[in-house]
Chains A and B, each alone.
Chain A
Amino acid sequence: MITLGIDLGSNTIKTVVLEDGRDVLGSCVRKSGYDTKIITDECVREALSQAGAKFDDIKKIVATGYGRVSCDIAHKEISEITCHGKGAYFRMPEARTIIDIGGQDSKVISLSDNGKVIDFVMNDKCAAGTGRFLEVMATALGVALDDFGEISGKADKMIDISNTCTVFAESEVISLLARREPVENIIAGLHKSIASRVLALASRLRIQEPVVLTGGVAKNLGIKRALETVGKINIGIPVSPQTIGALGAALHAYALTLK
């Protein structure tokens, strides 16, 4: 039985095609643009073609993420917190704390032994400590975001950069460039800045290990390193961390078929 999960994030749209609530047959990540509907359709088609399935084969669809309410093909919409909880627990059942850093929000979720969400916190109305923060910095530095992880690996120190405001941090980065600070140290500093912001958020809950990092930002290994260094914790990253929310949605869709 095929179910579909769609995660309509602020930055990207993710889809996961799941068989029998067990096997991921296809998935897709696309930059969300002006017309969410068209991109969602493309994303669904791509995941289905990987799965070798047709739209009509799908039994249930669940949408999550900021655009979830406007997704008219979904049978149900569920918050990204519940979906990330379910997705992360499916991939790594040992997970007790999830740190998810997405395009415009970061959240920390505590899971019970049976994978239920016990508590969660999300960032305030501010982009510092989110993927958007790194995107802005990538533009300021003239470095591709995808290279951040590798470049920061060469850093010999993490420069202190303010994490209170993306705009202020950007002007700080420009000043650092003007002072000819090595770019790898600046990027490592940015990672540290995000890590301490997210860990401050996490400390509102009790951080219980194992900790799992999900969301698009998890693809950047520099963030994992920074979280481990600043928080003195070990971080696990599941397979395909960016599609964990969509996977959770697909699992929910499967649960709906059983009702």
Chain B
Amino acid sequence: MPKIDSNKKLRNLMKKYYVKAKLGAKYWPFTKTCWITSGGPVEILIAMGITPIYPENHGAMIGAVKMGVELSGEAEKLGYSQDLCSYFRCDVGQAVTQKSPVGGLPRPDFLLCCNNICGTVLKWYEVQARYYDVPLVFLDTPYNYDGLNDDIVNYVKEQFESIIPEIEKITGRRLNEKKTKQVAQYANEGIKLWNEILSTCENVPAPMTCFDAFFYLAPIVTLRGTKHVVEYYKGLKKELEALIAQGKGAVENETYRLVWDNLPIWYKMRRLSKTLASYGACLVGDTYTNAWADNDINPDDPFGTMARAYASVYLNRNVDAKIENFTSLIKKYKADGFLIHSNRSCKPYSFGQFDIKDEVSRRTGLPGLIIEADMCDTRAYSDEQIETRLQAFIETLKERKEAS
């Protein structure tokens, strides 16, 4: 994609965040650090001035710099199976070695785990709570087997009444209402902006690809509820809109518009983006980055709306809802086909994908391709095999285009 200032700004933003978190935890005694899952209620932490740390975001960084096998190997040496989530294995690996692109994560004062993204996180956080000997705070979000209902929302909301005093007791800080409202306001603004940023790809040609969006995603996950996110996304949105106005597309001669499902394959971002671009194929939308784009947090009812939002994240919804969501993204982005990453690590994301593929194809009349890989563990990936499948898939898209 054309060079824009937001890339550098993002690097600086994330660098500042990690440096501040690491130095604060080490040298500033009043700093409180909490490790939190990617679907956890970070707004509470932000409002209390607690530094949130995301082992999953860190895992993505580890994957991107191809340290996944080395750090997973450390966890495997301790007896953890290679079949477990590679983010988990990398997190164990970085904890015992303090190796990673940022030299390991800062020591937590406590952990905040929300099981709306998977069941693995609960065991993962239990392991880390024992390792660091710190308290674990847990938010339980029941899976939406039959869709979201008020019982689920109320059950999640009620838990805020117990976990907030728990966090207050651990940190010695109070959650204040005014600050909560402000954080909810920023969170909501950030989410809306993120949605608008992703939606710029409705434009033909798309001003960015999902490979870019995977990168721009970091702030809405890690710093949601701060004004930095809002400011950063305002700038990014402006730059993307300028690209649209100039008619510049992220992929030269955009010919095939594809929608992606599941996490990125972090260590193959560059290669895959080059391969797809060489066919004129652009990833215009994906279920992963959109998972942070459709929540609604109301500052006048922060806990009620947060309960609803956290209970109904993409991975906590049933297969029917996933089919609906995927289908609507494909229509929204005027796609020609779709790619599904069957991710060895992420079971709740990869579950049901063959049925999802069939049904989405039936509803949209478009072909899809499933590729088998892993988000961090390069051992689960084979260049030749994946690229042959991609080439064949593009050839079928080409024949379809020519026939119509």
Q: Which residues from chain A sit less than 8 Å from chain B, CB to CB?
A: 66, 78-82, 105, 116-122, 124-125, 204
Contacts of A66 in B (CB 8 A): 384, 388
With A66-B388, A125-B382 given, is the CB distance from A116 to B396 under 8 Å?
A: yes
Contacts of A125 in B (CB 8 A): 372, 380, 382, 385
Contacts of B354 in A (CB 8 A): 204
Considering the complex, give the chain A residue whose CB is closest to the CB of B368: A119
**Which residues of B (381-396) have their CB < 8 Å from a CB of A?**
382, 384-385, 388-389, 391-392, 395-396
With A116-B403, A124-B372, A204-B354 given, is the CB distance from A80 to B396 under 8 Å?
A: no
Contacts of B395 in A (CB 8 A): 78-79, 81-82, 117
Q: List 29 A-B contacts (CB under 8 A).
A: A66-B384, A66-B388, A78-B391, A78-B395, A79-B388, A79-B391, A79-B392, A79-B395, A80-B388, A80-B392, A81-B389, A81-B395, A82-B396, A116-B396, A116-B399, A116-B400, A116-B403, A117-B395, A117-B396, A118-B367, A118-B396, A119-B361, A120-B392, A121-B370, A122-B388, A122-B389, A124-B372, A125-B372, A125-B385
B392 and A81 contact, CB distance less than 8 A? yes
From residue B394, how far is it (CB to closest CB) to chain A in Å? 9
Contacts of A122 in B (CB 8 A): 385, 388-389
Complex Cα spacing A24 to B392, Å: 25
Considering the complex, give the chain A residue whose CB is closest to the CB of B381: A125
Contacts of A116 in B (CB 8 A): 396, 399-400, 403
Contacts of A80 in B (CB 8 A): 388, 392
From residue A235, how far is it (CB to closest CB) to chain B in Å? 23
Closest 6 CB pairs of A and B: A81-B392, A79-B392, A79-B391, A82-B395, A117-B396, A116-B399
**C-beta contact mask, B270-300 vs A, less than 8 Å → 1, else 0?**
0000000000000000000000000000000
Complex Cα spacing A78 to B382, Å: 19
Contacts of A120 in B (CB 8 A): 392, 396
Complex Cα spacing A119 to B367, Å: 7
Partner of A117, one of B382, B388, B389, B399: B399
| Most A C-beta atoms less than 10 A away, residue of B361, B372, B384, B395 | B395
Complex Cα spacing A122 to B382, Å: 13
Interface size of B in residues (CB-CB distance below 8 Å):
18
Complex Cα spacing A39 to B388, Å: 23
From residue B389, how far is it (CB to closest CB) to chain A in Å? 6
Contacts of A124 in B (CB 8 A): 372
| Most A C-beta atoms less than 10 A away, residue of B389, B391, B392, B403 | B392
From residue A259, how far is it (CB to closest CB) to chain B in Å? 11
With A119-B367, A125-B372 given, is the CB distance from A82 to B392 under 8 Å?
A: yes
From residue A55, how far is it (CB to closest CB) to chain B in Å? 27
Contacts of A78 in B (CB 8 A): 391, 395
Complex Cα spacing A117 to B393, Å: 9
Contacts of B392 in A (CB 8 A): 79-82, 117, 120
From residue B122, how far is it (CB to closest CB) to chain A in Å? 29
**C-beta contact mask, B230-257 vs A, less than 8 Å → 1, else 0?**
0000000000000000000000000000
Considering the complex, give the chain A residue whose CB is closest to the CB of B372: A124
Considering the complex, give the chain A residue whose CB is closest to the CB of B361: A119
Contacts of A121 in B (CB 8 A): 370
**C-beta contact mask, B360-372 vs A, less than 8 Å → 1, else 0?**
0100000100101
Considering the complex, give the chain B residue whose CB is closest to the CB of A65: B388
Q: A82-B396, A105-B385 known; 6 other A-B pairs, CB under 8 Å?
A: A78-B391, A79-B391, A81-B392, A117-B396, A125-B372, A204-B354
From residue A142, how far is it (CB to closest CB) to chain B in Å? 32
Complex Cα spacing A19 to B10, Å: 58
Complex Cα spacing A118 to B354, Å: 16
Contacts of B385 in A (CB 8 A): 105, 122, 125
From residue B345, how far is it (CB to closest CB) to chain A in Å? 15
Contacts of B361 in A (CB 8 A): 119
Considering the complex, give the chain A residue whose CB is closest to the CB of B342: A124
Complex Cα spacing A117 to B403, Å: 12
Complex Cα spacing A80 to B387, Å: 12
Contacts of B403 in A (CB 8 A): 116
**C-beta contact mask, B13-29 vs A, less than 8 Å → 1, else 0?**
00000000000000000
Contacts of A117 in B (CB 8 A): 392, 395-396, 399
Complex Cα spacing A89 to B370, Å: 24
Contacts of A82 in B (CB 8 A): 392, 395-396
From residue A194, how far is it (CB to closest CB) to chain B in Å? 19
Complex Cα spacing A121 to B380, Å: 18
Contacts of B396 in A (CB 8 A): 82, 116-120
Contacts of B399 in A (CB 8 A): 116-117
Complex Cα spacing A170 to B18, Å: 51
Complex Cα spacing A119 to B354, Å: 13
Considering the complex, give the chain A residue whose CB is closest to the CB of B384: A66
Complex Cα spacing A37 to B389, Å: 24
Complex Cα spacing A124 to B382, Å: 10
Complex Cα spacing A81 to B391, Å: 9
From residue B220, how far is it (CB to closest CB) to chain A in Å? 34
Contacts of B388 in A (CB 8 A): 66, 79-81, 122
Complex Cα spacing A176 to B385, Å: 33
Complex Cα spacing A126 to B72, Å: 22
Complex Cα spacing A120 to B371, Å: 12
Complex Cα spacing A125 to B389, Å: 13
Considering the complex, give the chain A residue whose CB is closest to the CB of B402: A116
**C-beta contact mask, B340-368 vs A, less than 8 Å → 1, else 0?**
00000000000000100000010000010
Considering the complex, give the chain A residue whose CB is closest to the CB of B379: A125
Complex Cα spacing A66 to B382, Å: 12
Contacts of A105 in B (CB 8 A): 385
| Most B C-beta atoms less than 10 A away, residue of A66, A78, A79 | A79
| Most A C-beta atoms less than 10 A away, residue of B372, B396, B403 | B396
